[in-house]
Structure 1
Amino acid sequence: MFKPSAEQIIKVMQGKGYSVYDTPAVDWNLNIVGIRANDPEPGTFNDTLAVFQRLQGAWNICYYQITTDPSLHYLTHPVNSSGTAILKEGQYKGAYQLDIHNRGLDSGHLALCQRLKPVTVYRDSNRDNKLNLLEGKTQTGMFNINIHRTCEDYIQRQRFSAGCQVFAEQRQFAEFIRACQASEKAFGNKFTYTLLHERDFQ
């Protein structure tokens, strides 16, 4: 898992003109940053989620192992007629809030959900087991590209992501949600998600 420092991430974000949340006097102003790996492997959790904030004046950062890519089942069986969603790198300001992922289903759980603003996705429509990130095949809209957890059964059946950002490890996800809940109390139920690529640091 790629683990750049908070300062390295901030440098990349500022170079792209992205917002960095920094309130030294108030804790829990979270920067939530996904980093897609250089060697994308659909069906694996080889990407990074970095969550950092000012705590008592210093940058504090936590790293989590996630996937930013759809799993193999949904690459070969898209749920959308335009193709499988793959979130495009960018900053999605105020697009997310704490809500129930898969509301109404047995697997529903509290997660960071895309409820407030559009995001942009690539549409991979050729139904193979490789990621196809083509600039001419993007859509922007409300696609429920959430940040949630999964379970071993879904991992084994490769049904854990149709384009969402997904944790495999339950305890890591619980820690992440606790941080989001603390942030909600301090700043409200609105979150920004930034997706970078490992090559941005090279």
Structure 2
Amino acid sequence: MKPLSAQQLLAAMRANGHRVFEGELNLNIIGVRASDAQANTFNDMIYVLYQRGGAWQCKAYPATTDPGTYYREHPANVKGTAVLVPGRYSGCWQLGQHQGKYDALVQRGEMTVYRDNNSDAHIDTDTPTESGYFGINCHRANKHTTSKHVGKWSAGCQVLASPEHFSQFMNLCRDSASLYGPSFSYTLLTESETRL
């Protein structure tokens, strides 16, 4: 999936009725789920869209917005594997630690997931949804190198493939938190919603 520009993201957010934060370092964290539903790849994108000196900036990070094949085939929940439903989640994350191990964005507000429970590699979105607190965090994969396969890195979390990108992402979050507080909203779009 080709990275989007700041103007393309702004247009997609507004066309889909999602709020856009303005102001110095007021972060818009936006995931885009690829139409290609190939399992176990970092084929999605997580963007950070923000203003600096009045000009729009856009950082694009290869990521996964859906679980790896391990958890699709071996659900950690009896109801099925959590697959985040596209939409807007206001104040859903805050600065914290992923599994108590390292700094990340951790869930603090309700999020809605599909429950994929047929134990195959394909994402099913024609399943019941559930809203609540499921530990849908935003974190990195391997701490040493860029990951090529999702594997066990995601059971539903939003995961950046590169540790360097994740470090940059977290620095932006900390800088923003010093101005606006430690909570963050997240918008998950589908690739088709960005084609205007």
Q: TM-score range by the shorter chain?
A: over 0.9
Q: Does 1:186 align with 2:179?
A: yes
Deviations 1:142-183 (Å, cap 9, x if unpaired)?
01111101116x976811100001112110000000000001
- State how 1:107-118 maps to structure 2 within 5 Å: 108-115=101-108, 117-118=109-110
Q: Which residue of 2 aligns with 1:98?
A: 95
State the secondary structure of the residue aligned to 2:192.
helix
State the secondary structure of the residue aligned to 1:122.
strand
- State how 1:1-202 maps to structure 2 within 5 Å: 1-23=1-23, 27-103=24-100, 108-115=101-108, 117-134=109-126, 136-151=127-142, 158-202=151-195
Structure 2: runs of 5+ lacking an equivalent: none
Query: Counterpart amino acid of 2:118?
Result: N
Q: Give the count of matched residue pairs.
A: 193
State TM-score, norm by structure 1.
0.91
The question of whether the paired residues in 2 share the 8 Å contact of 1:84 and 1:163 is answered with yes
User: 2 CA distance for matches of 1:111 and 1:157?
Assistant: 18
Query: Counterpart amino acid of 1:198?
Result: E
List structure 1 runs of 4+ shifted beyond 3 angstroms: 154-157
Instruction: State the identity %.
Output: 41
User: 2 CA distance for matches of 1:95 and 1:156?
Assistant: 26
Q: Aligned-residue CA RMSD in angstroms?
A: 1.7
Instruction: Give, in angstroms, the shift of residue 18 of structure 1.
Output: 1.2
The question of whether the paired residues in 2 share the 8 Å contact of 1:42 and 1:72 is answered with yes
Instruction: Give, in angstroms, the shift of residue 16 of structure 1.
Output: 2.2
State the secondary structure of the residue aligned to 1:174.
helix
User: 2 CA distance for matches of 1:88 and 1:39?
Assistant: 16
The question of whether the paired residues in 2 share the 8 Å contact of 1:149 and 1:169 is answered with yes
User: 1 CA distance for matches of 2:194 and 2:94?
Assistant: 28
The question of whether the paired residues in 1 share the 8 Å contact of 2:94 and 2:105 is answered with yes
Query: Counterpart amino acid of 2:136?
Result: I
Query: Counterpart amino acid of 1:165?
Result: Q
Deviations 1:77-132 (Å, cap 9, x if unpaired)?
001111000001001011110100012xxxx11101112x1000011000011111
User: 2 CA distance for matches of 1:157 and 1:19?
Assistant: 30
Check 1:92–1:157 CA distance in 2 against 1; reply closer, same or farther (3 A cut). Answer: closer
User: 1 CA distance for matches of 2:111 and 2:150?
Assistant: 27
